[in-house]
Homo-oligomer: A and B are copies of this chain.
């Protein structure tokens, strides 16, 4: 999903893609990890992009509303991952916090006919290969 598409998604709900938001979005989209608002704020800072924390919160809010950001609750902390595509399945590495889209067909559930399903999430949690290697290397037995 390119920036123009995101801009149009935002505009569709009367949100604007300002230069501040665009800079933040670049940083957000280039991270393969889920981030807390504060982490995104600090990551932007490292790129010499100095945007207020409130603006970070507001960007993540509107991106979530249009489906470009996905919130994750891990150990009581709320993180956000950039999700350019409409896929709802993720693998979350609990060690490095990387989030990867994964293949797999949506499961079919037995929901009563009179229930309306508006969305679904299927997330896997575990340890990615890099982190397993790192853990093995650091392991002393």
Cβ-defined partner of A118 (8 Å) among B110, B118, B126: B126
Task: Select the residue from A89, A104, A111 with max chain B CB neighbours within 10 A.
Answer: A111
Complex copy number for this chain: 2
Chain A, range 53-95, C-beta contacts under 8 Å to B:
71-73, 76, 78, 89, 91, 94
**A 116-136 binary contact with B (CB < 8 Å = 1; else 0):** 111111111111110010000
- Tally of contact residues, A, Cβ under 8 A: 36
CB distance from A128 to the nearest CB of B (A): 6
Contact A108 B104 (CB under 8 A): yes
> Which residues on the B side are within 8 Å of A125 (C-beta)?
117-121
CB distance from A137 to the nearest CB of B (A): 14
Cβ-defined partner of A122 (8 Å) among B115, B122, B126: B122
> Which residues on the B side are within 8 Å of A120 (C-beta)?
122-125
Asked, given contacts A71-B73, A73-B78, whether A115 binds B127 with beta carbons under 8 Å apart, the answer is yes
What residue in chain B is nearest A93 (Cβ atoms)?
A: B115
> Which residues on the B side are within 8 Å of A71 (C-beta)?
73, 76
Which A residues are closer than 8 A to B by beta carbons? 71-73, 76, 78, 89, 91, 94, 102-112, 114-129, 132
**14 contacts across the A-B interface (CB closer than 8 A):** A71-B76, A89-B107, A91-B109, A91-B111, A91-B117, A102-B110, A102-B111, A103-B110, A104-B107, A105-B107, A116-B126, A116-B127, A121-B125, A122-B123
